[in-house]
Amino acid sequence: MDEVLYRKYRPQSFDDVYGQDHVKTVLIQSIKHQKVSHAYLFSGPRGSGKTTVARIMSRELGVSGVDVSEIDAASHRGIDDVRNLRESVSFQPTGSERKMYILDEVHMLTNEAFNALLKTLEEPPAHAFFILCTTEPHKVPQTILSRCMHLPFKKATTEQLAQFIIEYSKREGVRLHPDSATLLAAHADGAYRDALVLLEKVIGLCIKGEVSPSDIEKRVGIVGQDFADDLLKDIEQNDAKSFYNKIHAYSQEGGNVVHITSKLVERVQVKVLECMSDSVSGVDGECSAQLDTLWELLEAQKLMNQVSNPLTVLVASVMNIIRNATTASEHKDDTHIETPSEFSNNETSNVQPVQSEDSSWNHMLLLVKEKNKTAEALLKSARLVSVDDGVMVVAFSFAFHKSKVETAEICAIIEDAAQQVYGKKIALSCVLTDQTKKEVSYSPSCAPPSIDVMSPDALLSQAHEVFGGQMIE
């Protein structure tokens, strides 16, 4: 029986290792100059080559046979296991000059086991070397990290993986369309081992001729970006029927619903990040809808592990998303949205609304940005209602933004910029969007509190009443 691809093509030297040039350079130079550290920490995503490089490092140091110990820390995570390791370290090598200990998934060790390992890492015997491998370096105690040379492994890019897949498909006599290699690479999520596993699935299809992306999507169960985008478009347009028809047809053809859901989560996550990066206020209406969709799909992913029919879970989740979106839309249509003119009361009926796109407003934003970028960002989330009688009225949707702008520092910056733009002294007045249809009176937000000033005679008279005494001319 043929050996599986990821074992068949496991690199045997540094030259065979794809990517990770920054790691290879450090290790090769350390061996060349005989400056090898006694303890390394290899961290990175699964399938990125951590254990493979650790084995290559052992061979390059001349360690082989029984002098190389690979320990799965996930299943040997207790203090007794580490005590056995420490006892083994104290013995001299059998057939080599050195001994190498490779601890995989080292973050799974217990706190007691880490403490027991610490002493050995602090004062290792001259013949002992350690390579700790982990996918979660943040779970490794700082005391251990400080005694290791940390070399992080990177995810492979889609382009690197696509080239990797094409090269090894040729070795196996399989013709892959370039788009097919890209599709496989995207699904491998930066892991070389996963890429070879997927390539092995394609080889198992025994397709004659060139393997197209549609062959992979239908027969391997890998979802292409276009198909995922089509499904997401149906969700955004609240088209439940179209979504159901597409997903049901795909499932009937043997497609993997779990993979589809993962792809949808990935695409929505990108949309949420783009939306929030473009929105000054953080989470606006569109971002909120995307976040709701993301949470629903994430919940669906959790449930899929507990049911026999993932399709039902996905369909129910999407129906819930569409129902909530439809309800929100109907509520929005029934809600009166006030225009800037509705901010005016009877006393300020002569105030004319000013569009925030006005060149003067944009000029003022630029002047504010030069002095304080935070102030500029806050103003961009507001609406300019009016500029009249030396008062500039600005409306905010959130009280938090309004309170920030009303601080003395930011308020002074904005008023100074307004004075430069309009050529006269301008007082800033901040208001909230009037969602309760109450009157809003425009008073300068930065004005000092009013103080009742008493005349000197009145002040003396009041003091005489309180303290008594004799009035002296």
Give CATH for domain 158-219: 1.10.8.60
- Write the class of the CATH domain 20-152: alpha beta
Q: The domain at 341-432 falls in which architecture? A: 2-Layer Sandwich (3.30)
Comparing CA positions, the residue from 393, 317, 5, 296 lying closest to residue 174 is: 5
Average pLDDT for 122-142: 93
What is the rounded distance in angstroms from the CA atom of residue 227 to the CA atom of residue 232?
Answer: 9
Residues 6+ apart with CB under 8 A from 91: none
From start to end of 63-221, where are the E strands? 68-72, 99-104, 128-134, 149-152, 175-176, 210-211
The reply to whether CATH 1.10.8 applies to domain 225-332 is no
Spatial strand order in the sheet of 383-388: 383-388, 391-396, 427-432
CA distance linking residue 473 with residue 470, whole number of Å: 10
Confidence of residue 469 (pLDDT cuts 50, 70, 90): low
Distance CA 169, CA 167 (A): 6
Length of the chain: 473
* Domain extents in the chain: 20-152, 158-219, 225-332, 341-432
CA–CA distance, 41 with 448 (Å, rounded to integer): 60
Reported pTM: 0.58
What's phi and psi for 129, nearest 5 deg? -130, 145
Whether pLDDT at 417 is above 70: yes
Same fold, 20-152 and 158-219: no
- In this predicted structure, the answer to whether residue 376 has a pLDDT above a threshold of 50 is yes
CA distance 414 to 109: 56
Q: What is the pLDDT of residues 283-308, one digit of tens each?
A: 555 677 788 888 889 988 888 888 88
Is 140 within 8 Å of 105 (Cβ atoms)?
A: no
DSSP state letter for 40: E
Q: What is the pLDDT of residue 456?
A: 54
pLDDT of residue 470: 62
